[in-house]
Amino acid sequence: MTTLLITGGAGFIGTNFVRFVRRVRPGWHLINLDLLTYAGNPENLADLAGDPRYTFVQGDIADWPTVSSLFAAHPIRRVVHLAAETHVDRSILDPGVFVRTNVVGTFNLLEAARQAWKDLPEDAGCRFLHVSTDEVYGSLGSEDPPCSESSPYAPSSPYSASKAAADWLARSYFKTYGFPVLITNCSNNYGPYQFPEKLIPFALCQALEGKPVPIYGAGGNIRDWLYVEDHCAALLEVLERGRLGETYNIGANQQRTNLELVRLLLQILAEMRPDLGNRQSLITFVPDRPGHDWRYALNTQKIADTLGWRPRVTLEEGLKRTVAWYLEHQDWLERVRTGEYRRFLETQYGQAVVQEKEPACGGG
């Protein structure tokens, strides 16, 4: 039986990935190591509690004894490393924890796996997938060609710099030790279970409550949006069939300005909840994020040509599924919006955005 360690499995992509692998590889034993920070939610996977092929371990990847003892206790042969601090705005407010989790935590996992696997035969099938982001390549201009796997790194924020450092550690383990690592760099994900600090679920929450939907700067910054289930399928392809030591870009080729994206999101919300009326007037331009990257775009030819992976879900379809999920899970949203979350929003956006409500909700 394959034993797969998933780190950060109680977060957004992790929850979707655990569910995806459970469905398509039902025989695998999944171990989910997650610290349960503000972004991790055990409720997401509560229905797996009695499953003998699922083990949840609450622990910190930056704590060496936690990580090394896990490899001693279980015959882990595969790792999908998702655990990270992930929000750019939080990395600007408090960068230290990003270095600790994203750099030291990744080092601990690489080193514990290297020590556990070094005397195993090649046919043991050990593989370590380090999951990273398109943000490591830095900001593109509107007309620049998309980044390929060999584009230079130029991270801008403490978040992307800490992910870049982790990527290079992973690359060094392949070069120095022949360690069986793979790296993926993916564009912005969206879909069910995303914590409502990121643009799409945050805009949706604000719009549902008739509060301002803040857009940084003039809303011209461009991101490429991938539905999370497409990302999960790509991760499994790379884990199973990717070439060791290689990097794979994963993206949707669905670039939009932030303003275009939020307008589309609010239009879909209005179609699904006509009782709310037109919420476009809630869009509010607020001061720009410091060091805000203008555009991310990825060339995804390599994963398409070598592994045959392509995104299946269009942006419009993915947004419809996402809005539907959040509308059906408003109790989930209520529970994750804790005191810590509300304090973060006040620090980040100020009282006006967090508390102010439209005078009359539901107007046309």
Q: In the annotation, is 38 catalytic?
A: no
Q: In the annotation, is 54 catalytic?
A: no
20 binds ligand NAD (CB under 6 A): no
Residues 156-195 that bind ligand TYD (CB under 6 A): 188
The CB-of-197 to ligand NAD minimum distance in angstroms stands at 9
The CB-of-274 to ligand NAD minimum distance in angstroms stands at 30
Task: Mark the segment that binds ligand TYD (CB under 6 A) among 77-85, 164-172, 214-222, 315-323.
Answer: 214-222
Q: From the list 116, 199, 303, 315, which residue makes contact with ligand TYD (rule: CB under 6 A)? A: 199
Instruction: Please list the residues that pair with 226 across neighbouring strands.
Output: 189
| Per-residue contact string for residues 110-149; x = within reach of ligand NAD by CB under 6 A | ---------------------x-x----------------
252 binds ligand TYD (CB under 6 A): no
Q: In the annotation, is 193 catalytic?
A: no
Task: Mark the segment that binds ligand TYD (CB under 6 A) among 9-17, 123-131, 209-217, 241-249.
Answer: 209-217
Q: Which of 54, 159, 193, 349 is catalytic?
A: 159
Alpha-carbon distances of 212 from 196, 331, 357, rounded to whole Å: 15, 21, 7
How many angstroms separate the CA atoms of 22 and 277, rounded?
Answer: 39
Using alpha carbons, select from 7, 36, 18, 187 the residue that is nearest to residue 107: 7
Q: From the list 4, 5, 6, 12, which residue makes contact with ligand NAD (rule: CB under 6 A)? A: 12
The CB-of-78 to ligand NAD minimum distance in angstroms stands at 17
| Per-residue contact string for residues 159-178; x = within reach of ligand NAD by CB under 6 A | ----x---------------
Q: For residue 183, report the phi and psi dihedrals to the nearest 5 degrees.
A: -130, 135
Closer residue to ligand TYD, CB minimum distance, 216 or 325: 216
Q: Which of 60, 135, 167, 230 is catalytic?
A: 135
Q: From the list 214, 251, 311, 318, which residue makes contact with ligand TYD (rule: CB under 6 A)? A: 214
**CB–CB of 264/315 below 8 Å?**
yes
Task: Mark the segment that binds ligand NAD (CB under 6 A) among 55-63, 267-275, 288-296, 347-355.
Answer: 55-63
- Please write down the HEC assignment for all residues of the chain: CCEEEEECCCCHHHHHHHHHHHHHCCCCEEEEEECCCCCCCHHHHHHHCCCCCEEEEECCCCCHHHHHHHHHHCCCCEEEECCCCCCHHHHHHCCHHHHHHHHHHHHHHHHHHHHHHCCCCHHHCCEEEEEEEHHHHCCCCCCCCCECCCCCCCCCCHHHHHHHHHHHHHHHHHHHHCCCEEEEEECEEECCCCCCCCHHHHHHHHHHCCCCEEEECCCCCEEEEEEHHHHHHHHHHHHHHCCCCCEEEECCCCEEEHHHHHHHHHHHHHHHCHHHCCCHHHEEEECCCCCCCCECCECCHHHHHHHCCCCCCCHHHHHHHHHHHHHHCHHHHHHHCCHHHHHHHHHHHCHHHHHCCCCCCCCC
Q: From the list 81, 211, 223, 295, which residue makes contact with ligand TYD (rule: CB under 6 A)? A: 223
The partner in contact with residue 67, picked from ligand NAD, ligand TYD, none with C-beta cut-offs of 5 to 8 angstroms by kind, is none
Residues 190-229 that bind ligand NAD (CB under 6 A): 195
11 binds ligand NAD (CB under 6 A): yes
Residues 264-283 that bind ligand NAD (CB under 6 A): none
Q: Which residues bind ligand NAD (CB under 6 A)?
A: 7-8, 10-14, 34-37, 39-40, 60-62, 82-86, 101, 105, 131, 133, 163, 186, 188-189, 195
| Catalytic center residues | 134-135, 159
